[in-house]
Structure 1
Amino acid sequence: MKVLKFIGLGLLAIVVLAVIYAAFQPKEGQTERSIVIERSPEAIYPVITTMKSFNEWSPWFTIDPETKYTYEGPESGVGAKMAWESDHPEVGAGSQWIIEADENKSVTLQLDFGFAGEYYSDMFLKPVENGTEVTWTYRYKDLDLMGAFFASAMDAEGMVGDQYVTGLKQLKEYVESQPMPKPEVEEEMMESDSTAMEEEMAEGE
């Protein structure tokens, strides 16, 4: 009985210490990483606003190939939603959906991990000399004690930051592997030439 009582007191002390620790942890935070992709914002935007394209570059996709994915809402843009379910601790279960989209400039997703608090992910596209600077952010706020404890214990800045670096590298590889889109000027010239040819053929008849 004394041993059980000692164990019980020990567990209680651990819980109390965890609560005290969590009480002093920040209830909000933000992590961000950036990369330059040698493509225009117009080439990147459709990829990051289509949920079914997410696993083409997601840093979590290869961690557990058995993860189950479901999709809801439109194919892309505001309202597009993806949910996942995995037994792997690094993947877990949750969902994300697009709540804001500014064409060729930015996209904002809200995330649900089953914890209290608000979680968001943003991607910003900024044209630069040799392509587009893509900045991926993860931010959270209004965490409860449990959420604050896990955010600190999991080292959101370090762990999420590393995953975002991997994801951005894979996004770069994926986007740059796609065929280069034809410049609008070239397309307009081709359309003009085609129209002129049709007019000449019509006149010849």
Structure 2
Amino acid sequence: MRWMIRIVAGLIVITVALAAIGVVFLPRTVAVSRFTVIDAPPAEVWPFVSDLRRFNDWSPWAGYDPEGTRYVFEGPESGVGQIMRWTSDHPNVGSGTLTVVAYDPGRAVEMRLEFGETGTAETTVVLISSDEGTEATWGFMTDLGTNPVARLFGLMFDSWVGNDYETGLANLKALVEQNKGSSG
């Protein structure tokens, strides 16, 4: 009977060791992106994605805590240096800062997303003209570092962030198509 306990204990130790080694080989960075096609030219989509003051018009997180979330906007109204800070007690919103770090008018905006001690990420919105209107791609990338627990959680980012990005792009599509032809 003792030999069976030793074999089971040995198998458990080997399994744990292999799992720990496997975590080291998980990707350090996580990238998630989603896209949609909007029935409008890029010029009609751009005002909604290029101005952080318009972000909550289509953000998937704006509806979670509309009364409790506080926003502060800093910097210019367009271009690099725009900043949006928010605070909320709602677990799906939290607190953070979004800063425009690169800006290609009419085509792309890149932002740094900061969640305090939780970490930072880069997010982009890219618009490409197509026969159907505008292909809008919203992307997210973060460096998880060497923390094995963070790397394990990295396996779930696609479903966590991806679902929100799909909702946000659907909101953006509906908003732009509803306002099609107006000045935005």
TM over 0.5: yes
Residue in 2 that maps onto 1:88: 90
Residue in 1 that maps onto 2:61: 60
Structure 1 residue 112: deviation in Å?
Answer: 0.5
Residue in 2 that maps onto 1:139: 141
Choose 1 or 2 for highest CA Rg. Answer: 1
Structure 1 residue 74: deviation in Å?
Answer: 0.7
TM-score for both structures, normalised by structure 2: 0.80
Percent of pairs with identical residues? 35
Alignment of 1:173-192 (within 5 A): 173-181=174-182
1-structure distance, mates of 2:135, 2:45: 10
Q: Which moved more, 1:20-29 or 1:126-135?
A: 20-29
| Alignment length (residue pairs) | 165
Post-superposition CA distance 1:11-37 (Å, at most 9, x none): xxxxx99xx586554220100000001
Residue in 1 that maps onto 2:129: 127
2-structure distance, mates of 1:50, 1:149: 33
2-structure distance, mates of 1:147, 1:80: 33
Pair 27,55 (structure 1): closer, same or farther in 2 beyond 3 Å: same
2-structure distance, mates of 1:89, 1:115: 15
1-structure distance, mates of 2:39, 2:153: 34
Equivalent pair of 2:144/2:154 in contact (CA under 8 Å)? no
2-structure distance, mates of 1:147, 1:36: 36
Post-superposition CA distance 1:22-60 (Å, at most 9, x none): 655422010000000111111111211111100000000
Alignment of 1:99-138 (within 5 A): 99-115=101-117, 118-138=120-140
Residue in 1 that maps onto 2:165: 164
1-structure distance, mates of 2:46, 2:145: 31
Structure 1 unmatched ranges of 5 or more: 1-15, 183-205
Structure having the higher helix fraction is 1
**Residue 116 of structure 2 aligns to a residue in which SS?**
coil
Q: Which moved more, 1:32-41 or 1:109-118?
A: 109-118
Equivalent pair of 1:118/1:142 in contact (CA under 8 Å)? no
Structure 2 unmatched ranges of 5 or more: 1-15
TM-score for both structures, normalised by structure 1: 0.72
Equivalent pair of 1:72/1:81 in contact (CA under 8 Å)? yes
Which protein, 1 or 2, shows the higher relative CO under an 8 Å CA cutoff with sep ≥ 6? Answer: 2
Structure 1 residue 143: deviation in Å?
Answer: 2.6
